[in-house]
Amino acid sequence: MSTLIDTLRRIVGAPHVLTDGDLSAWELDWRRRERGKALAVVRPGNTGEVAAVVRACAAAGTAIVPQGGNTGLAVGSTPDLSGTQVVLSLTRMAAVRALDRDNLTMTVEAGCILQNVQDAADKAGLLFPLSLAAEGSCTIGGNLGTNAGGTQVVRYGNARDLCLGLEVVTPQGEVWNGLKGLRKDNTGYDLRNLFIGSEGTLGIITAATLKLYPKPAAQLTAWAAVPSMEHAVALLGLAHQHLGAGLTGFEVMGRFALGLVHKHMPQLRVPFIDQEDVPYGVLLENSDSESEDHARARFEALLETAFEAGCVTDAVVAENLTQAHNLWHIRESIPLAQAEEGLNIKHDISVPISRIPAFVEYADAMMAREIPGVRLVNFGHLGDGNLHYNVQAPVDGDPKVFLREQEENVNHLVYEAVAQFGGSFSAEHGIGALKVDKLEKYQSPTALAMMRAIKAALDPQGIMNPGRVLGTAPAMPAAP
Ligand code: FAD
């Protein structure tokens, strides 16, 4: 192996091949639940170096784990425990290569931090709308690798919808330049969309051409108290009607989830938390292309209709950006408040929006029946049919024991309910190493066979992120 390490040092420079010392930033997953052991962490500085690293690893039959910001929530970006995998970190490749105002595109390297992409667009008077709580450290390569969602999907779509082209290093170490930036290009199979969401199992994204949008003239945020999940879905329908493409955010938060924020972060003032009969809060964002007055008038018209229809019992519209930021901060603090309350079991599910009220009613009753005292932390991107239907141990239980004894059972109960309602057990976060068995269970055999055929065709040696998404396929011998 020292020959491979020497080769890697020659390619990227010795300081960029890490083999000892504290490597936990690359070896430990974001939730700190899984720690692997890397043969080396390699940090190439350009696409040519990535290609040379991949060729060297392929020749040695050594597996590669592509890594961006290591904020993924499915254990896809850290090595296994074998000590034989190379972590290929893209974070040195963080340049903005080009910005084309007329084409409304920007080409960035894969290691560019999402917030820096947003800032570069902003500086040019434009908008890159992908937004999620990890944006200060996740990278565009990881966003595309996982097809990340976030808070603006209801208007702009997932990372996939925001990408027009990719540059990819294949598992053979060849470079595919697909950075055309075209909005129309029907020339054969859609390779770009194959790599997006493949979680580093088919190749390494080294750069991407991203879609930009005009910046809205005004952005307003409102918080509504709604009497039930049915009413939340009805409010979503009204918001689509009234705001059209102006609806850029629609988040739902259950009372228990908000209660945890109120309890653990008392400095954050959760609207309507003292009204015991408010089971859900909804956060709405309206981005307007005309003016703040126009935005406010449309919001008021929407809320008036929603009050009359009984969908909303109370509401506040943020007066300024600080208030809007504070409302979003409450929503984004739910995972932290949950962590303060103790260990918990997280889910990232989606169900057709029309079926969400029935799903929640069914799942809540089923969980209460099967695991008495269980506490449900239900919140998420309702505008996309995506809920984080999380489960907290009963108040008198030991969370560690609960997790050890109940995690499998809880996952089984939730995912069976999701399947029954025609949903997905992984809406945003992907499969990684965490949900390989769930993919086997819930994906159709035909779909799995096609996925395996694609993997075998593109990565016959099985060196790209093995054990992720499809589990470990028997590796073929190293290339001569
Ligand atoms: P990593 O964690 O480094 O990698 C993730 C996966 O992508 C791995 O399989 C890795 O091998 C692969 N990968 C990384 N870089 C490349 C590359 N260049 N080429 C090929 N494959 C690559 N996700 C959402 O979708 N929506 C959310 O709202 C959301 N909120 C979050 C909030 C918090 C606080 C945290 C910690 C995470 C959240 N996530 C969310 C999950 C995570 O931030 C996203 O999955 C993000 O897109 C991962 O980016 P990353 O650079 O950290 O990727």
Dist. CA 283 → ligand 1 center (Å): 24
pLDDT at 115 over 80: yes
Looking at the structure, do residues 85 and 100 belong to the same domain, yes or no?
no
The answer to whether the CB of 210 is under 6 A from ligand 1 is no
Looking at the structure, do residues 102 and 189 belong to the same domain, yes or no?
yes
Whether residue 128 lies inside any domain: the answer is: yes
Looking at the structure, do residues 226 and 262 belong to the same domain, yes or no?
yes
Using the atom order of ligand 1, give the atom closest to the CA of residue 141. 18
Domain of 125: which CATH number?
Answer: 3.30.465.10
pLDDT at 116 over 80: yes
Per-residue pLDDT reduced to its tens digit, 257-309: 999 999 999 999 999 999 999 999 999 999 999 999 999 999 999 999 999 99
Closest by Cα among 52, 80, 152, 6 to 466: 80
Q: Among the three residues 396, 420, 444, which one is the final residue of a domain in this structure? A: 420
Domain of 253: which CATH number?
Answer: 3.30.70.2190
Using the atom order of ligand 1, give the atom closest to the CA of residue 199. 9
Whether residue 393 lies inside any domain: the answer is: yes
The answer to whether the CB of 132 is under 6 A from ligand 1 is yes
Whether residue 476 lies inside any domain: the answer is: no
The answer to whether the CB of 73 is under 6 A from ligand 1 is yes
Closest residue (by CA) to atom 25 of ligand 1? 148
Return all residues near 392 (Cβ < 8 A) that are at least 6 apart.
338, 341, 342, 344, 374, 375, 376, 377, 399
User: Hey, which of 75, 80, 91, 132 would you mutate to test ligand 1's pocket, going by the most ligand atoms within 8 Å of its Cβ?
Assistant: 132
Closest residue (by CA) to atom 53 of ligand 1? 142
Dist. CA 146 → ligand 1 center (Å): 6
Looking at the structure, do residues 107 and 120 belong to the same domain, yes or no?
yes
Looking at the structure, do residues 205 and 166 belong to the same domain, yes or no?
yes
Show the DSSP H helices in 372-471 as ranges. 399-420, 436-442, 445-458
Using the atom order of ligand 1, give the atom closest to the CA of residue 198. 21
The answer to whether the CB of 204 is under 6 A from ligand 1 is yes
The answer to whether the CB of 68 is under 6 A from ligand 1 is yes
Whether residue 431 lies inside any domain: the answer is: no
Task: Output the pLDDT for position 478.
Answer: 41
Dist. CA 131 → ligand 1 center (Å): 12
Per-residue pLDDT reduced to its tens digit, 50-61: 999 999 999 999
Give strand ranges (E) for 255-381: 280-288, 314-317, 344-345, 349-350, 375-381
Tokens 């489960």 -> residue: 391
Task: Output the pLDDT for position 477.
Answer: 41
Whether residue 267 lies inside any domain: the answer is: yes
Query: How many domains are there within the chain?
Result: 4
Dist. CA 135 → ligand 1 center (Å): 10
Q: Among the three residues 91, 126, 155, which one is the final residue of a domain in this structure? A: 91
Task: Output the pLDDT for position 474.
Answer: 43
The answer to whether the CB of 428 is under 6 A from ligand 1 is yes
For strand 64-67 and strand 85-89, is the pairing parallel, antiparallel, or unpaired? parallel
The answer to whether the CB of 78 is under 6 A from ligand 1 is no
pLDDT confidence band for 472 (50 / 70 / 90): low
CA distances for 21 relative to 8, 37, 38, 83, angstroms: 18, 12, 12, 14
Asked if the interface predicted TM-score (ipTM) of this complex is over 0.95, the answer is yes
166, HSE (Cβ side, Cα atoms, 13 Å): 29
Looking at the structure, do residues 234 and 311 belong to the same domain, yes or no?
yes
CA distances for 407 relative to 76, 85, 216, 346, 400, angstroms: 20, 29, 43, 10, 10
Average pLDDT of the segment spanning 456-477: 83
Closest by Cα among 185, 171, 113 to 459: 171
Looking at the structure, do residues 245 and 278 belong to the same domain, yes or no?
yes
Closest by Cα among 158, 197, 164, 193 to 72: 197
pLDDT confidence band for 203 (50 / 70 / 90): very high
Looking at the structure, do residues 225 and 298 belong to the same domain, yes or no?
yes
- Torsion, Cα of 214, 215, 219, 224 (10° steps): 50
Percent of the chain's residues with pLDDT above 90? 91
What is the three-class DSSP state of 220?
strand
The answer to whether the CB of 158 is under 6 A from ligand 1 is no
Closest residue (by CA) to atom 47 of ligand 1? 143
Looking at the structure, do residues 12 and 64 belong to the same domain, yes or no?
yes
Average pLDDT of the segment spanning 15-22: 96
Q: For the chain, how many residues are written?
A: 480
**What amino acid occupies position 132?**
L
The answer to whether the CB of 90 is under 6 A from ligand 1 is yes
Looking at the structure, do residues 229 and 210 belong to the same domain, yes or no?
no
What is the chain's mean pLDDT, rounded? 95
Q: Note down the domain range covering 363.
A: 342-420
The answer to whether the CB of 390 is under 6 A from ligand 1 is no
* Cβ count within 10 A of residue 186: 6
Task: Report residue 327: phi and psi, to 5°.
Answer: -65, -45
pLDDT at 480 over 50: no
What is the three-class DSSP state of 365?
helix
pLDDT confidence band for 1 (50 / 70 / 90): low
pLDDT confidence band for 396 (50 / 70 / 90): confident
Distance in angstroms (rounded) separating the CA atoms of residues 403 and 44: 39
The answer to whether the CB of 200 is under 6 A from ligand 1 is yes
Looking at the structure, do residues 100 and 192 belong to the same domain, yes or no?
yes
pLDDT at 99 over 50: yes
Task: Report residue 40: phi and psi, to 5°.
Answer: -165, 155
Domain of 25: which CATH number?
Answer: 3.30.43.10
Q: Among the three residues 336, 355, 384, which one is the final residue of a domain in this structure? A: 336
The answer to whether the CB of 69 is under 6 A from ligand 1 is yes
Per-residue pLDDT reduced to its tens digit, 360-376: 999 999 999 999 999 99
Dist. CA 479 → ligand 1 center (Å): 30
Dist. CA 138 → ligand 1 center (Å): 6
Looking at the structure, do residues 230 and 319 belong to the same domain, yes or no?
yes
Q: Are 24 and 53 in contact (CB under 8 A)?
A: no
What secondary structure letter does DSSP report for 185?
Answer: -
The answer to whether the CB of 134 is under 6 A from ligand 1 is yes
